Structure 1
Amino acid sequence: MKKIVSALVVFVLISCGAKKTAGSAALYEVLTEQSSGGGNIKFFEILTEPNEIKMLQNDPLLADKMKDADINNYNYVILNMGEKNTSGYSIGVEKVEETDKNIIITVKENSPSPDTMVMQMISYPYTVVKVHSKKEIIIK
């Protein structure tokens, strides 16, 4: 029971920082941050073309968070951490900076601390981010 409660607490704490702002307008928005459902390998994918972005609307977790106008005005980024042997892992955005020419996203990977009780289960953490710009995106 402690493992389940610990996992839920970690998930809630991670979910709390869902939106960050730069100045008065938000530069990006985390649409979903999940502990499972991602791919088997670590990858970062930048979606800029409307046909690529439209595929995200098929995901039930994202459908309500995307408007048709967003497809032409924003870029989307999928951050996938790959397969992990336990729960407690997450991937997200540490910071987003805008320059004259591009958007720089710094990714943060979180692992469970050694003294944290985790569930022994395969997990596939991922995060989907909407960037409120059509500038080129650089991922660090």
Structure 2
Amino acid sequence: MKVIFYNHRPKKVPEPWIQQVSFDELLRQSDVLSLHVIQTPETIDLINNDTIAEMKNGVIILNTARGKLVNEADIRNALNEGKIYAYATDVVKGEPIASDSPLLQAKNCYITPHIAWAPYETRDRLLHMTVDNIKAYLSGDLKNVIN
């Protein structure tokens, strides 16, 4: 398997089978595109008609980052035309999802509640970390202090 990624800053690549590429190269080469991007004015509608046109036919897009990263109408159109094979997301532009959302009129669009972060193991670890931090605080042993 080949794994490629884009970051606006050069990153140290931990494995030889992982390669950093330009954003345009990422769009052109990806069979599966997974979004892990913060929302800024520059990243709103990052995935739109123009970027979709650069992608391979039949691409699969996953978005567990932010709903505003994609233009939902453009995603719907590309899904219904077959340019995008599938779109899976647990984030939408407006949460909860509006009844007139373009995504609800799209083929192969899979929408789940915003729970990608919350498998049982993650919640269990979060609970244990919370208890450990409270115990440490009460004993005067501060952990993970920022200021």
**TM-score between the two structures when normalised by the length of structure 2:** 0.20
> Which structure has the greater CA radius of gyration?
2
**TM-score between the two structures when normalised by the length of structure 1:** 0.21
- Looking at secondary structure, tell me which structure has more helix per residue: 2
Greater RCO, 1 or 2 (C-alpha within 8 Å, sep 6+): 1
- Looking at secondary structure, tell me which structure has more strand per residue: 1
